[in-house]
Amino acid sequence: MQKMTNAVQHYAWGSHDALTKLYGIANPQGKPMAELWMGAHPKSSSQVADAAGALRSLRDVIDENPQQQLGRQVAERFGELPFLFKVLCADQPLSIQVHPSKSAAEAGFAKENAAGIPLDAAERNYKDPNHKPELVFALTPFLAMNGFRQLDDIAALLQPVAAAHHDIAAFLQQPSVERLAQLFAGLLSMQGEQKARALGVLKAALNNQQGEPWNTIRFIAGFYPDDNGLFSPLLLNVVQLAPGEAMFLYAETPHAYLQGVALEVMANSDNVLRAGLTPKFIDIPELLANLQFRRSPPTRC
């Protein structure tokens, strides 16, 4: 057994003190500490000490002798450590996002490599050729969105904002998967006067609506008051996990972590397609191309 030294990711939405309270990780620079990564992803591999005590990348150690480090079956099937484990500490909402399927990740990774887009470029969507199914286990109360609501539930929630957008009116007239896809794309793509008018209707409705998902919209608006993603809690399942509860997140499913501390285990990937609630690169067409409009309650564990 080897002790790992693990890297902290300093994303803007991260907590400044959760990792310190949990594991005693110092934060002398006062940066947000969003995620602690444990694994061998090329972006940020853990490190292990060699016989001389020098730290080496776990990924390099595995690459030198995969069968010794992983076992023959895992080495032959995956060729690398197939999982990435994280501690996630969110003080603010993360982006509305989708993770691609394995085949889409392989194709997207190859396409961006061929285009010469650097792996660390802001506009890079595919950092590796892997899909990213996830299991999240709450350590504190944990707020998230995961997957589309049932059509009748969406229709009921959209009634107070029917005048916000023509795609809302069309969906209410005939709720269907096809019109849900049109609605989701239309809301995410709003600009200019159309966006200002729609958000104005939504914010006016907040004055008269209580409970969920309106409280979640109010929470998100405290960080992203003018983001198209404010409509998302009306379309997506709002999930509140208690400590000790867990939830699975499938590829091609829209989701967003909003607040809380949790453990995550996932395929060894950092592929994220974003559509809102973020200052990072947004690629709505690519997200929509990798999205399945399945309606189902989140899978709790």
Within a domain: 168: yes
Q: 61 with 113, same domain? A: yes
pTM, two decimals, is 0.92
Q: 153 with 268, same domain? A: no
Q: 107 with 189, same domain? A: no
Within a domain: 207: yes
Within a domain: 285: no
Catalytic residue, candidates 72, 218, 274, 294: 274
Percent of the chain, pLDDT > 90? 89
Q: How confident is the model at residue 244 (pLDDT cuts 50, 70, 90)?
A: very high
- The per-residue b/e assignment along 118-148, b for 16 or more CB within 10 angstroms, e otherwise, is eeeeeebbbbbbbbbbbebbbbbebbbbbbb
| Gap between the terminal Cα atoms of the chain | 29
Q: How confident is the model at residue 1 (pLDDT cuts 50, 70, 90)?
A: confident
* Residue 274 appears among annotated catalytic residues: yes
Q: 213 with 261, same domain? A: no
Predicted local confidence at residue 195, as pLDDT: 98
Within a domain: 281: no
Within a domain: 284: no
Lowest mean pLDDT among 118-122, 193-197, 224-228, 238-242: 118-122
Q: Over 90: is that where the pLDDT of 297 sits?
A: no
Tell me which residue range forms the domain holding 164. Answer: 148-236+290-300
Within a domain: 107: yes
Within a domain: 283: no
For residue 57, the SS3 value is strand
Q: 32 with 52, same domain? A: yes
Q: How confident is the model at residue 39 (pLDDT cuts 50, 70, 90)?
A: very high
Q: How confident is the model at residue 143 (pLDDT cuts 50, 70, 90)?
A: very high
Q: What is the pLDDT of residues 55-73, one digit of tens each?
A: 999 999 999 999 989 899 9
Q: 39 with 120, same domain? A: yes
Number of domains into which the chain is organized:
2
Q: 56 with 114, same domain? A: yes
Q: What is the pLDDT of residues 250-292, one digit of tens each?
A: 999 999 999 999 999 999 888 999 999 998 999 999 999 999 9
Within a domain: 282: no
Q: What is the CATH number of the domain that holds 40?
A: 2.60.120.10
CA angle, 77 then 81 then 82, to 5°: 65
Predicted local confidence at residue 294, as pLDDT: 80
Q: 132 with 265, same domain? A: yes
Q: 109 with 92, same domain? A: yes
> Would you call the peptide bond into 213 cis, given omega within 30 degrees of 0 as the criterion?
yes
Q: 232 with 254, same domain? A: no
Q: What is the CATH number of the domain that holds 191?
A: 1.10.441.10
Q: 140 with 153, same domain? A: no
Q: 94 with 107, same domain? A: yes
Predicted local confidence at residue 247, as pLDDT: 97
Q: Over 90: is that where the pLDDT of 52 sits?
A: no
Among 79, 72, 7, 14, CA closest to 39: 7
- The per-residue b/e assignment along 25-37, b for 16 or more CB within 10 angstroms, e otherwise, is eebeeeebbbbbb
Predicted local confidence at residue 212, as pLDDT: 96
Record the tokens describing residue 38, joined without a space: 């444990």
Predicted local confidence at residue 72, as pLDDT: 93
